[in-house]
Structure formats: structure tokens, C-alpha cells
Amino acid sequence: MKNEIKRIGIDIGGTTIKAGLINDRGDVVDHREIETPKTPEEGINTISEMTADWQKEAEEAVGVAAPGPMDLARGLFLDPPNLPGWHDFLFVDAFQKKTGKRCLFENDANAAAVGEYIAGAGRDAKSLVYITISTGIGAGIVLNGQLLSGAQFSAGEVGNMIISEEGAAQAGLNQGAWESLASGTAMKKKVKEVFGLEEGAKELLQLVEKKDAEALRIFDRWIGHLASGIANIVHVINPEMIVLGGGVMQGKEIILPHLKPAVKRKVYASLEDSVMIEPARLGTKTGVIGASFLPLIQRL
């Protein structure tokens, strides 16, 4: 289709920068990936080169997803742990000056939520909360086509929700925070502690498949913690759909059959049959796809 609308989405990660040329249905028409440069100035040059030959066919505005924390009002990287050389950099201004293009900047969980809402698991849902479960836990919230940013752009910082006041303490988080009990890191720590294994989720899920009793016990507790946080989000926002992504969800075939009934047990009876929990559909391209749609979405 010659006249198909296409947009450029950029996903800046600690290891690689991904760039995608995305059509209106969310298909990746072209895709490139390059090692993340040490500095944001180099990063902007790299992005500019990666996308140069897409310019003619793409819409003007470019969406950029990146790890937080960031100051969205100023288009500023704060101190993302995975991008040490990029701290305190006014990205949006520099990007727009270099490229002459409008830049829509957003944290990666929010961009993924937008991608899943427009072209992924939630394409038929009116509202969704996208939750990424990997090293940490974060979320993006889309309500009736609007991305919930929050007054200080901190909506969706669900990893710091308290689910267990007497629970484990972890630096930088509340005691008993969801993230310190239900993230991939939390699972990994337990697996190391109990089995002396290093790889975390992957190894635990293998043991669970073999019905190892100790592994099942750890897994069930982890599922319980994960369910608590999801139930909390359901009771605050009552979204039509919860979409789960992030590295840990590579084990979705094992996780979801345990997680769904666990969440059911923790929501009001009237919600038991209506909570929809779905795995993310866009896979590793969720960042670039979501980013490409940022120019289309309203903020709330």
C-alpha cells in the first residue's frame, strides 16, 4: 500500500536502541537495532542515522520510549540506572534541534501500554493496565483512549505499592512493596537462596513443571504476591483488561493458569468473572510499536 500511514518509533534501552517503521495497524514494516551509545548526544546521532531513509515515507512526529525516571514535562532523563551516561540530559530539546522533528517522549511501560491498547492484546478493550514484570514492576494505564500520566507523571509506579506491611524491606522501596515480593528479581533471590541456582524465573519454572515440592511452594507464594498487586489495581481502577508483559512473562504458559484463579480469589465476588488477564502480544517490539503511536494518544 503506497499511501499507508507509517510512523517511526524509537525504544531506548540500557543495551540496545531499537528503531521501527510501523504502519497504522501496528505492523513492523522495517526494524533496526544498534548498541546503545555511552552518551545521549551520540544516541541522538545514532537514531538520526538509523531512521534517515525512513523519513520520506514516515509521519513527521517521532515517538521515543525510554526507561525512567524521567521528567516528562521537560523532556528530561533523570537518573535511569541502566543509562548511566544519559543522566540529567534534556533529551527532547536536543532531539528536536538535531532532527527538526517533533518528539513525543514517554517512559517504556507507558509506551508499551499504548502499543498493547492500540495494536496488541487490548485492541478491543476500552481501558487497560499494562504491567511489566521483569527486574522491577511497572505499569502503564490507558483509560478510554487516554494515557494516564499522573500529576507528577508518576501514575503506574505500582512497584512501590505496599502489599505486605510486615514484609521484606528493600532499599529504595517501601517495606513490603509489591516489586520486592513479586518481581523477577524477587523470584531470582528466592531461587538462589533455596536452590543455589543463578538464573531465577527460568529455572524455577522448570522445577515447577517437574512438580518439585519446594519449587511449587516458592512459586505459589510468588503467584500470591503477584495476585495481591493485580487485585489492588483492579480495586482502584477496575480496568476492562490487565495485560502482562516483561521478561518474566516468557513463562506465561506456566504462570497464567496459576495466576488467574489467584486473582479471582482476591477480588470482590462481583468482579470475579469479569477481570480479564491477558499476556502482552507485541513481544520484543512492544517498545517501538508503542512509541510510534505516542503522537496519537491524549494524556490524562
* Contact footprint for its own copies (CB under 8 A): 69, 126-127, 139, 141, 143-144, 146, 148-167, 174, 176, 224-225, 228, 231-240, 266-268, 270-271, 274, 300
The Cα 182–Cα 84 span in angstroms is 26
Which CB atom, from 224 or from 295, has the smaller least distance to its own copies?
A: 224
Which CB atom, from 215 or from 233, has the smaller least distance to its own copies?
A: 233
Which CB atom, from 19 or from 267, has the smaller least distance to its own copies?
A: 267
Burial of 132 (0-12, 13-18, 19+ CB in 10 A): buried
CA count, 13 A, side-chain hemisphere, 123: 13
244: Cα separation from own chain's centroid: 9
Least distance from its own copies to the Cβ atom of residue 97, Å: 27
Sheet holding 28-35, edge to edge: 28-35, 16-23, 6-12, 58-66, 103-107
Least distance from its own copies to the Cβ atom of residue 188, Å: 20
283's CB contacts (< 8 A; 6+ apart) are: none
Q: What DSSP character marks residue 206?
A: H
Take residue 113 and report the three cell numbers written for it. Answer: 501500554
Least distance from its own copies to the Cβ atom of residue 84, Å: 19
Residue 240: closest CA among 212, 288, 266, 277: 277
Least distance from its own copies to the Cβ atom of residue 247, Å: 22
The Cα 131–Cα 86 span in angstroms is 25
Residue 23: closest CA among 103, 102, 101, 118: 118
Which CB atom, from 8 or from 131, has the smaller least distance to its own copies?
A: 131
Least distance from its own copies to the Cβ atom of residue 155, Å: 4
Least distance from its own copies to the Cβ atom of residue 226, Å: 12
Which CB atom, from 110 or from 292, has the smaller least distance to its own copies?
A: 110
Residue 145 one-letter amino acid: G
The Cα 84–Cα 37 span in angstroms is 11
Which CB atom, from 26 or from 229, has the smaller least distance to its own copies?
A: 229
Least distance from its own copies to the Cβ atom of residue 33, Å: 31
Which CB atom, from 14 or from 172, has the smaller least distance to its own copies?
A: 172
